Amino acid sequence: MLSVSDYRVSYGQSEVLHGLNFEIKPCEIVAVMGRNGMGKTTLMKSLMGVIPSSGGSVKLEGAEVSHMKSHQRVASGFGFVPQGRMIFSSMTVKENIETGLTTTKRRSVPKELYDMFPVLLEMRNRRGGNLSGGQQQQLAIARALASDPKMLFLDEPTEGIQPSIIREIGRTLKMIRDQRGLSIVVSEQVLSFALDIADRILVIEKGEIVHEELRATINEAKVASYLSV
Ligand SMILES: Nc1ncnc2c1ncn2[C@@H]1O[C@H](COP(=O)(O)OP(=O)(O)OP(=O)(O)O)[C@@H](O)[C@H]1O
Ligand SMILES: [Mg+2]
């Protein structure tokens, strides 16, 4: 589904991602784990075209996307839930979701999204800024799904969210994968969440992938050792 090779990103003179290589299979959920400042957000933002890459290739179903602008990547099938959720706080819940529809032919929020997140239906006329953190995270996921992505990126979706909502988000992501057959890449620092949802775990350290394991045969202690400070 996604193929990333010799992928490099720099801020000015300083290279932050040093030639990453990985692939994501159809319907696969992959967690990219790493401590603060290791390059998770840089990876996600650059894959989305929000910041430029300085080398390498990104292919979605075999087609190169690295020359594309952000909105073209969304039209080709990339969806993004940014770190910190980035909800438009003065717009309503419904309007926030509608911003995700621009690359589709739809003009109103599909019923399936409200079925998936009933709390958003209940709060559709409320301002986004007035929702709780967990509700905003659900809104950010619904907004990303509104463009009907094939490949969904989520940057630290559990940050600042209570355990019961984290579990709910995990269930929802697996359900979305099963129902829509999309692939998901989620960056995370919470190992229990990654173990709950991922088929495979990649560990990123100082801009390089230093470890990779399948969930089914994972050595938890080994992954945990990369995440401890
Ligand atoms: N706009 C920027 N300009 C210069 N350097 C940056 C910029 N954004 C991030 N960096 C640096 O790039 C490195 C990777 O940062 P990044 O935000 O990708 O890490 P992260 O893994 O997402 O961390 P966190 O878990 O704290 O969100 C860090 O050393 C950071 O200081
Ligand atoms: Mg980050």
User: Which ligand 1 atom sits closest to the C-alpha of 34?
Assistant: 21
**What SS3 class is residue 170?**
helix
Q: pLDDT tens-digit profile of 182-200?
A: 999 999 999 999 999 999 9
Q: Which domain holds residue 193?
A: 2-227
Mean pLDDT in the chain?
94
Q: What is the pTM of this model?
A: 0.94
Question: Which CATH number characterizes residue 118's domain?
Answer: 3.40.50.300
pLDDT of residue 207: 94
Q: pLDDT tens-digit profile of 46-94?
A: 999 999 999 999 999 999 999 999 999 999 999 999 999 999 999 999 9
Q: How many domains does the chain have?
A: 1
Position 174, amino acid: K
pLDDT of residue 44: 97
Contacting residues for 194 by C-beta, under 8 A, at least 6 apart? 31, 33, 186, 188, 201
Residue 63, classified by CB atoms within 10 Å of its CB into exposed (0-12), middle (13-18) or buried (19+), is: exposed
Residue 27, classified by CB atoms within 10 Å of its CB into exposed (0-12), middle (13-18) or buried (19+), is: middle
pLDDT of residue 105: 84
User: Residue 15 Cα, ligand 2 centroid: separation in angstroms?
Assistant: 16
User: Residue 34 Cα, ligand 1 centroid: separation in angstroms?
Assistant: 12
**pLDDT band, very low/low/confident/very high, at 113 (cuts 50, 70, 90):** very high
Best residue for ligand 1 mutational test, from 7, 9, 11, 44 (most atoms within 8 Å of Cβ): 11
